Amino acid sequence: MHRDSDRHKLFSRRTAMLAGGKALLLSALVGRMYYLQVVESERYATLADENRINLRLLPPPRGRIVDRFGIPLAVNQQNYRVVLISENTDDVEGTLRVLGSIIPISDGEHRRILREVRRRRRFVPVTVRENLNWEEVAQIEVNAPDLPGVMIDVGESRFYPHGEETAHVLGYVAAVSEAEVTGDPLLELPGFRIGKAGVERIYDLALRGTGGSSQVEVNALGRVIRELSRQDGQPGAEIALTIDFDLQKMVTDRLAGESAAAVVMDVHTGDVLALASTPGYDPNAFNKGLSTDDWKTLVSNPRTPLINKAIAGQYPPGSTFKMAVALAALEKGVISPSATIFCPGFTRLGKARFHCWKRGGHGNVDMTRAITESCDVYFYEIARRTGIDRIAAMAERLGLGRPLGLDLPGEKDGLVPTKDWKRATMDEPWHMGETLISGIGQGYLLTTPLQLAVMTARLVNGGYAVTPHLTRDKVSPRATTPRPAPRYKSIGLSSWHLNIVNEATKAVVNGPRGTARRSAIKEEGFEMGGKTGTVQVRRITKAQREQGLKKNKDLPWKYRDHAIFVGYAPVHSPRYAVAVLVEHGGGGSTTAAPIAHDILLEAQRRDSARPGNTPPVSQADDSPGAAVKKG
Amino acid sequence: MATNGLSRAQLTLRQKLWQVPWLFILLLFATAAVGFAMLYSAGNGSLDPWASRQMVRFGLGVGVMIVVALTNIRLWLRYAYAIYAVTLLLLTAVEFGGFIGMGAQRWIDLGFFNLQPSELMKIALVLALARYFHAGSMEDVGRPTFLLVPLLMVAAPAALVLRQPDLGTALMLIIGAGAIFFVAGVRMWKFAVVFFGALGAAPVAWQFLRDYQKQRVLSFLNPESDPLGAGYHIIQSKIALGSGGVFGRGFMQGSQSHLNFLPEKQTDFIFTMLAEEFGLVGGLTLLGLYTLLLIYGFAISVSCRSQFGRLVGMGVTTTFFLYIFINIAMVMGLIPVVGVPLPLISYGGTVMVTLLLGFGLLAGVYVHRDMIIGRRGADEDL
């Protein structure tokens, strides 16, 4: 037993050492625990919250767009879609088969759904189809017992009830592209739409509103356990346009089938009542996602349905420019209104001949007749006397040559040539022949239909620098405030000169020899004035002229003349200005003037049908008519 | 003295019952109760599926423990090798008929119970080594050749367990056996030789590790390198621990555990959950309970008058300590992730049985602490 007591002693000594070692190790554990739970505790607590708390964005409803009387033009539609939650069904394939007998599911769709089901977590709903109609929703609801895991979900999507008729004004919304992602986290939400064109684009921030947020607790798989807090966002602002939808529809219908544009505006306030460009496109298709084929069709169409010709189409103004030339000449004093110029059908400048549209010539014409009958020789002569720079200055005072600040994206400058301009861009001196050509609105001159409408408005509103706008209120990203009563500056024209020109444009339509006399408005008090324009898009060689000119309708579409008409009504107290342009439409008097006749008549009828322009709907207090009457 | 020892051997059952260390068993109950509470929380405030089953196992285990404690210690001495041999056989069997679970072959499906022979081996090895060293004199222990047999006794099961592969259990077997060698009186320099030899062999051993084991070691060294992959467990565990702070987030309020960011919260990572919900205070309380149990183990071992009893006591105590240390060090990111449960707390049947068997032996050592057993005691009549 002696030996055992030695063993016992050794054992006890070694055990003590072992115990010491273990105590050391346990202290290490305690130290580590202290480090993690006391020293680093706050950092880990934050990490734990980051794990468990997810911030979810709540997209705000997009603001509606309505016309001046409150007719909705862009709305948010409830979008019924059917979704599949795979964890609620034992047999995804079987469920899809039953669902496929109620709503058609193509093979491609079928594969996409199965792929998404595999990729997503089992509780994440996978969209089977969007935009269900009521009948389909009802069918699915009735068959719910046979459709485990299938749910009807309601979302919101943008809808344009009037489609093509308002497409070029409103534009459209579509999914956010990568380049458009800014700081706004809303833009990164899947399925979020932003304005890509038109009013939708230019007022996108106001229409968008600000997103709310919801703090939710999620588990490790991302499933929401509960909502911790919620902050509601700011819905997008409703925007009221100056557009009168009924007039807009009438104008669009009237232009249908042509590649054309028309602008109707209030000559005093600058309210744009209608702005149309045909052909249009279906803005709803962009929201749903356009197929590549449809996109190609739109882009390759020679009649450019995607371009808003009213603001982005640039055309020589043709004879509608003659008022500007006349005013410039009168202001410079190079001709008196009653002085006549002899028109033999052409004029000479050096060796070149400049032809009048009327082969035999007009004989002796004074200014009124020259405008009424659109004598080219008269304007060659007074343009020569006035000089291009004077003409250009007048054109710019009338609103040509630069954007007018309409609240639509993509407004084009147009072009009013000057000597300096030519030297700067072409490095060549100006030729007198170019002044002559400019005198009849051809050559380098380019205008948009909107600019022509504004020019017309400025001629008939007493010479005030009216500018166009599309919204009833001033819209900023944060708020909409009522637009102050317009105070447009005078463009400094003598009322005597204006009167001469306006009397002449009255006679264009109402005089016995006016170029647009066949389009006169017969209704008493509704009479319109205006000016026709026919723009040549091809050069006419001497040989062709000698052979005899071909009729427009015998030419291929793209070589036919553009038809233009600018007009206003009523003549006794002008209120509406209109510019109509029909691409390759033939003559201004035969094609454009009748359209302007219909538009101006309708505009006035709608006006007198509602005394004071009070809208029929109950919006009397914020009537846009109040502003209109002041103007 | 001999008569005294003999009389001890012939203690009546009633006398033996008086000798059972009841305070020790009370501590076991307290510790197990902490486990039940945590499993209740892990079940989201329900006894199902873990807490209730664990209670049943604990109850059965306690019965087994008391039976073991009351069994004459000479019986364990006599059958120590037999038990070791059978366990080794079972361990070999899982190489072939084993049940595939958790990516490693560890279980034998007995129909009503999935047996993990590697767990039982921890006790069997302690018994076998204790018997071997009990029979050797101090001079024997000084002879290197005498150590060959016990080294083989460790190497065989360790190799089998590594093959499964179960790094944690293999380490526990080796370190636990090392502790027995140490207290049995093996010279320090021999440990140094083995230690440095192992260090030298480490690069070779690295080649034999499975990819996932290598991954675990690598992700331990830099858990942030792969936050969603191999490092995920450690990072989430540290977040849970740290966010618990001093007083914890409250019973059943641990977001990391209850929202499933924490993996394996009812088994290997249950300490993390405890520390998340009860904070530093909760963690230290449990460590305190463990420390008391360990102290008990040391005291019982040192007070025993037979070398066999002392070695069994220290073997069991060290095994218990290794469970505690490896598990807690792992969940706190101090050592790589190895599958070692937290004793008495983690959900699991075999571990509970192994532990209570071990504690039964420890209590048996205490009951029979005054029994003197000769070096050939295994062959003596009972």
Over residues B259-295, the pLDDT tens digits come to: 888 888 888 899 999 999 999 999 999 999 999 999 9
pLDDT of amino acid B219: 67
Q: If we measure between CA atoms, which residue out of A92, A66, A65, A62 comes closest to residue A79?
A: A62
List pLDDT tens digits, range B150-179: 999 999 999 888 777 677 888 899 999 999
Q: Let me know whether A503 and A601 are in one domain.
A: yes
**Are A263 and A189 found together in one domain?**
no
Residue A300 lies in a domain: no
Instruction: Name the residue among A19, A25, A36 with its Cβ closest to that of B298.
Output: A19
Burial (Cβ within 10 Å: 0-12, 13-18, ≥19) of residue A254: buried
Per the structure block, which two tokens stand in for A137? 């929703």
Radius of gyration of chain B (CA): 21
- The alpha carbon of residue A114 and the mean position of all alpha carbons in its chain are separated, in whole angstroms, by 39
* Nearest residue of chain A to residue B319 (CA atoms): A22
A142 domain residue, yes or no: yes
> Which 3 state secondary structure label does DSSP give A108?
helix
* C-beta atoms of A32 and B334 within 8 A: yes
User: What value of ipTM does the predicted structure carry?
Assistant: 0.90
Tokens 């934050």 belong to which residue? A46
The average pLDDT across B366-381 equals: 80
When mean pLDDT is compared across A455-469, A526-540, A594-608, B197-211, the lowest value belongs to B197-211
How do strand A576-582 and strand B99-101 relate by DSSP bridges? Answer: unpaired
Of A551, A510, A544, give the one whose Cα is nearest residue A529: A510
Is pLDDT of A617 > 70?
A: no
Q: 3-class SS at A193? A: strand
pLDDT at B67: 94
| Residues A476 and A206: beta-carbon distance below 8 Å | yes
Residue ranges of domains in chain B:
2-373
The stretch A421-449 carries a mean pLDDT of: 94
Number of H helices, E strands in chain B: 16, 3
pLDDT of A350 > 80? The answer is yes
Q: Structurally, how many domains does chain A consist of?
A: 2
Return all residues near A2 (Cβ < 8 A) that are at least 6 apart.
none
Residue A229, pLDDT score: 84
Q: Do A37 and B332 touch (CB under 8 A)?
A: no
Give yes or no: residues A227 and A264 share one domain.
Answer: no
Check whether residue A509 and residue A589 sit in a common domain. Answer: yes
Q: Show which residues of A are catalytic.
A: 319
pLDDT digits (tens, 9 = 90+) for B41-59: 998 888 888 999 999 989 9
Please tell me whether residues A372 and A388 are part of one structural domain: yes
Q: Mean pLDDT in chain A?
A: 87
pLDDT at B199: 85
Strand partners, A349: A352
What DSSP assignment string belongs to A232-258?
--BPPPPEEBS--HHHHHHHHHHHTTS
Range(s) of the domain holding residue A99: 57-240
Domain membership flag for residue A87: yes
Q: Which of the pair, B17 or A597, is modelled with greater confidence? A: A597
Question: Of A240, A255, A278, which residue is a domain's last?
Answer: A240
Asked whether residue A31 is assigned to any structural domain, the reply reads no
A228 CA to chain B: closest CA distance, Å? 13
Residue A37 within any structural domain of the chain: no
Q: Which residues pair with A57 in a beta bridge?
A: A213
With a CB cutoff of 8 Å and minimum separation 6, the contacts of A182 are none
Residue A302 lies in a domain: no
Q: What is the pLDDT of residue B6?
A: 42
Q: 3-class DSSP state for residue B107?
A: strand
Separation of alpha carbons B297 and B355, rounded Å: 13
Residue showing tokens 């979810």? A56
pLDDT band at B39; cut points 50, 70, 90: very high
In this structure, the answer to whether residues A448 and A507 fall within a common structural domain is yes
Question: What's the mean per-residue pLDDT of chain B?
Answer: 85
Question: Which of A224, A240, A256 delimits the end of a domain?
Answer: A240
Task: Say whether B260 and A219 touch across the interface (CB within 8 A).
Answer: yes
Which positions in chain A touch B1 (Cβ < 8 Å)? 1
Question: In chain B, which residues have their Cβ closer than 8 Å to the Cβ of A54?
Answer: none
Which residue has tokens 């485990």? A148
Question: What are the DSSP calls for A458-480, one per residue?
Answer: HHHTTSB----B-BSEEE-SS-E
Best residue of A6, A39, A44 to probe chain B, by most B CBs closer than 10 Å: A44
Report residue B372 as tokens.
């003197």
Chain A contact probe: residue of B183, B186, B190 with most A CBs at under 10 A: B183
How far B328 CA sits from the closest chain A CA (Å)? 7
pLDDT tops 80 at residue B242: yes
- Token pair 């540290």 is at which residue? B238
Tens digits of residue pLDDT in A305-339: 999 999 999 999 999 999 999 999 999 999 999 99
Closest chain B C-alpha to A115 CA, distance in angstroms: 23
Residues A66 and A198 in one domain: yes
| Interchain CB distance below 8 Å, B307 and A8 | yes
Q: B325 and A7 in contact by Cβ < 8 A?
A: no
A209 within 8 A of A436, measured Cβ to Cβ = no
| Integer angstrom CA distances of residue B195 from A19, A128, B192, B201 | 20, 64, 5, 10
In this model, does residue B1 exceed pLDDT 60?
Answer: no
Other CB atoms closer than 10 Å to residue A31's CB: what's the count?
A: 12
Closest-CA residue of chain B to A1: B374
The shortest CB-CB distance from A18 to any of B183, B275, B284 is to: B183
- Please, which contacts does B31-36 make with residues 24 or more away whose CB atoms are closer than 8 Å? B31/B286, B31/B289, B31/B290, B31/B293, B31/B344, B31/B345, B32/B58, B32/B344, B32/B345, B34/B274, B34/B285, B34/B286, B34/B289, B34/B344, B34/B345, B35/B270, B35/B342, B35/B344, B35/B345, B35/B346
Give the whole-angstrom CA distance, residue B205 versus residue B198. Answer: 9
Q: Is residue A7 part of a domain?
A: no
Nearest residue to A374 (alpha-carbon basis) of A322, A438, A434, A326: A322
Residues A235, A250: one domain? no
User: Is residue A75 domain-shared with residue A221, that is, in the same domain?
Assistant: yes
What pLDDT score was predicted for residue A500? 95
Interface of A with B (CB under 8 A): 1, 3-4, 6-8, 10-12, 14-15, 17-19, 22, 25-26, 28-30, 32-34, 36-38, 40-41, 43-45, 47-49, 51-52, 217-221, 225
CATH number, domain containing residue A235: 3.90.1310.10
B105 pLDDT above the threshold of 70: no
- From A17's Cα to the closest Cα of chain B, the distance in A is 9
Residue of chain A whose Cα is closest to the Cα of B335:
A29
Closest to B246 (Cβ–Cβ): which among A3, A38, A220? A38
pLDDT band at B380 (very low <50, low <70, confident <90, very high): low
Tell me the pLDDT tens digit for each residue of B201-219. 888 878 877 777 777 677 6
Total CB pairs under 8 A between chain A and B: 136
Report the pLDDT averaged over residues A445-457: 96
